[in-house]
Every structure is written in structure tokens, then in C-alpha cells.
Amino acid sequence: MTSVAVVGTGAVGSMALWRLAARGIPATGFDTYAPGHDRGASGGETRIFRTAYKEGPQYVPLLHEARALWTELEQAAGTRLLTPVGGVTVGPRDHPAVDAVLAAARAHDLPVEVLTGKDAAERVPEHPLRDGEVMVADRDAGYLRPEPAVVAAAATAERAGATIRRYTPVEQVREDATGVTVVTGDGEQRFTHAVIAPGPWAAHLLPGLPITVKAITSTWFPRRDETLFAPGRCPIAIRVGEPAYSCFPSVDGAGVKVNLHVPWREIGSPADLARSVPAEYVRQVAEAVTATLPGLRPDPVRVATYADAFTPDGHGLLGGQGRVVVAAAFSGHGFKLAPVFGDIVADLVETGTTGRAIAHLAPNRPLRRSP
Ligand SMILES: Cc1cc2nc3c(=O)[nH]c(=O)nc-3n(C[C@H](O)[C@H](O)[C@H](O)COP(=O)(O)OP(=O)(O)OC[C@H]3O[C@@H](n4cnc5c(N)ncnc54)[C@H](O)[C@@H]3O)c2cc1C
């Protein structure tokens, strides 16, 4: 009988546990910490969901499925996880990222609108346009609550029969002809399959794959005008060009989160994340706020850094080889897709294959370490 070990119960692992349990497949999750913690890739209050995907039109069918699964999880857990406030991409009309958003929308007939001038200023006063800029509005976008979402997926999985071994780091996963052995400080446990979903700790459990770990810093700014950035109305925004960042509504009323898009710092492991952030970085993000977000005061009231695992081409690793399924390195954009990735993991365990188009995520595709 099939039995699955899921190593890592962060975003992807907890969703995999939920989807495995929903199919009646016995599954045990292992985590160094516990679902919903903020030391990996899934902390920091909010994550963007969007469908007009500049990372490639091949994601759009997966995003549609992810959206339906977010709704299913909300219903199962009885809690709001995705707030569908819409989203905008803001930047120069001829910027490649603006073209990529429009190309994904065209390829899949998505309901996006290009706004300029008075229309943009009235609809989204939080993000004034500068000369030559446009705003592409994606109605099927919004923000997710990452910590509650991971807790909800794990709790729903447990209610459906999954087991979670909290505070139990996995030291090794060994595969042989009849199954896999999971080694922890408590001893060894046998399963027929293993799913490796260790987030930014991937380089440790998946040596040999070209995975790098990067630190991404979030900053929260107070509002000048309390009517702006309202959590039930203000869309999420991605600004491209110079400066580039993502920006969220004021979810808890205390601050508006801005993630500056600069080349993210490589670190050895999430254990190397520093609580302090260079003053130079804070100055850079304060300048970006001053230049483009007049509704905010430019000095942050909160700064926090998180880690994620990246591949050289920016697409994650999702696929099975033998009895081991790899689900890792989602390269800074995996949260929104976590429910469908979890369901694909369940396909791969159950049948060895999946009907979903995931060739761009194949762990054995040609991947070279970045120079
Ligand atoms: C600051 C930031 C902003 C982001 N913004 C967005 C966004 O707006 N939209 C979006 O879609 N994506 C976004 N991403 C990316 C997204 O959050 C990640 O891709 C996603 O959270 C990855 O989930 P994961 O399950 O791979 O990792 P995690 O959620 O970190 O889970 C990995 C888990 O594995 C456990 N683990 C590791 N090693 C072991 C071991 N040996 N034994 C047992 N347990 C182990 C860890 O404790 C952890 O719980 C962002 C990422 C960051 C860091």
C-alpha cells in the first residue's frame, strides 16, 4: 500500500499533504519547525496572486487551477486566504515585463485592461503614473495570507488523515528497490514514496542540483492618507523599470509592504539570514517610495528578510524520479501556485505522471549554474 513521506511542511509540502490526504493516500509530513513558521520562504504577511503572468503563458492554466484550489481550501478551512482586490503592473509602455503581461493575457484571453491618465489616477490613486507609463490591470489578482494558508493546508490535511511530525528535521532520504527510508534524530521510518519540499533548505537535501538561496527583504511604510491602500479595495501592484518593486495594501493597518526588486543577495542557507539590513538598502527603498508612492511616508516602520531557493532559469523543480518526487526552488514566485503544485505531487505519487503541462519545471531539464 502506498505511503508517502513529505519532507518540509511549508507552502508546497503542506499543500502536497492536503492533496494526498484528500485522495485517501496515507502521508506523513516532517518539518524542522511546524507549519506556518516564518523562517523559510513563506513568512511576511502577504503574497501576490496574479494570472496575467510575466514569467510565461505556460503558467496560466496552472494559475487557473491554483485559484480554484485556493477557494476549495478556504471552504475546507473556513477562512479567507485570498483577497481578490485585483492587481496592476505599472511601468514604461515599452518595458519587456509590460509586454510579457500583455502577451500572457492575449495567449489565454484574460480580462486585462491598459489604463493611462485620468482613468488610472481615479481607479488606483495609490500608484500615480509618470510620463510614458501605463498601468495594466489584472482583475484575477489579489493577495494571499501565507502563514494562515500554510496552517490551513496542514490542518485540513491532518483532518483528512495525514500525520505531521513537527520539530523533526530529516537528516537523509534513502531510496532502494522497494521504498524509501527517512532518517531523523528519532530513527528511521519506511515509506513507499518521498516528496522533497524543503524550500530554501533545498541545497542540503538535493545536492547536485544548481540551486542557490537568496535573501529577499520586505519593508513596511506608514500611510500619509488613511483612505489609501485600503485592504479590501487597493490592488496589489508590481512596478517595473526603475525603481522596481511589489506593493501591497495595508493589511493590518500599520504599514504598506514594499518589496524592492534589486538583485537579491545570495546566502549559504536560511540559517545565515541576518536580522539587520544594510542602511544602504533601506535608503534605496526609501528613495523608491519618495519617487513613486506619494501616499506613503518614506521611512519604514518594519523591515524583515526571508529566504527562497532559486534555479538559474527562474522556474522551479517539480517532477518524479523513481519513488522520490522533487518539489523545490520555486524561485521567488511559487506561493500562489502551491496548491496546484501539491495536487501535481499527488498525481506523480499516485500514477507516476501528471496530465498538467509542467515540462518547464522538469528537474532533469538542462540547467546550468549561474556564473
Ligand atoms: C520575501 C518573499 C516574497 C515572495 N513573494 C511572492 C509572491 O508575492 N507571490 C508568490 O507566488 N511567491 C512569492 N514568493 C515565493 C514563495 O513564497 C515561495 O516560492 C514559497 O513560499 C516556497 O514554498 P516552499 O514550500 O518551497 O518553502 P517553505 O515554505 O520555506 O517550506 C519549506 C519547509 O521545509 C522545512 N524543511 C527544510 N528542510 C527540512 C528538513 N531537512 N527536514 C524537515 N523539514 C525541513 C522548513 O522548515 C520549511 O517549513 C516570495 C518569497 C519570498 C521569500
Alpha-carbon distance of 293 to 114, in angstroms, equals 20
CA-closest residue to ligand 1 atom 5: 47
Domain assignment present for 275? yes
Alpha-carbon distance of 247 to 219, in angstroms, equals 10
Position 88 scores a pLDDT of: 98
User: Which three cell numbers, joined as nine digits, stand for 136?
Assistant: 495594466
CATH number, domain with residue 222: 3.30.9.10
Mutate to test the pocket of ligand 1, among 7, 47, 138, 331 (most ligand atoms within 8 A of CB): 47
Domain assignment present for 120? yes
Position 78 scores a pLDDT of: 97
Position 371 scores a pLDDT of: 43
Position 275 scores a pLDDT of: 85
Position 369 scores a pLDDT of: 59
Residue type (1 letter), 339: P
Domain assignment present for 147? no
Position 45 scores a pLDDT of: 97
User: Which three cell numbers, joined as nine digits, stand for 226?
Assistant: 488613511
Q: How many domains does the chain have?
A: 1
Domain assignment present for 274? yes
Q: Which among 9, 136, 142 has a CA at the least distance from the CA of 63? A: 142
Domain assignment present for 119? yes
Our measurement of the distance from residue 298's CA atom to the centroid of its chain's CA atoms, rounded to an integer in Å, reads: 26
What is the number of the ligand 1 atom nearest to the C-alpha of 35?
49
Domain assignment present for 70? no
Handedness of CA 152, 157, 160, 162 (dihedral sign): negative
Please give all residues whose beta carbon lies within 6 A of any atom in ligand 1, as ranges: 7-13, 30-33, 40-42, 44, 47-48, 169-170, 197-201, 205, 216, 218, 259, 306, 308, 328, 330, 332-336
Q: How far is the CA of 330 from the centre of ligand 1 (A)?
A: 8
Q: How far is the CA of 43 from the centre of ligand 1 (A)?
A: 8
Position 26 scores a pLDDT of: 98
Residue type (1 letter), 251: V
Alpha-carbon distance of 38 to 289, in angstroms, equals 26
- CB-CB neighbours of 351 under 10 Å: 10
Mutate to test the pocket of ligand 1, among 32, 85, 251, 305 (most ligand atoms within 8 A of CB): 32
Match 514604461 to its residue by C-alpha cell. 92
Domain assignment present for 332? no
Per the structure, the complete domain to which residue 301 belongs is given by: 84-142+212-310
Q: Going along 316-359, which residue ranges are E strands?
A: 317-321, 324-328
Domain assignment present for 13? no
Show pLDDT as tens, one digit a residue, over the chain (371 residues).
Answer: 999 999 999 999 999 999 999 999 999 999 999 999 999 999 999 999 999 998 999 999 999 999 999 999 999 999 999 999 999 999 999 999 999 999 999 999 999 999 999 999 999 999 999 999 999 999 999 999 999 999 999 999 999 999 999 999 999 999 999 999 999 999 999 999 999 999 999 988 998 899 999 999 999 999 999 999 999 999 999 999 999 999 999 999 889 999 999 999 999 899 889 888 999 999 999 999 999 999 999 999 999 999 999 999 999 999 998 899 999 999 999 999 999 999 999 999 999 999 999 999 999 999 865 54
Alpha-carbon distance of 76 to 196, in angstroms, equals 25
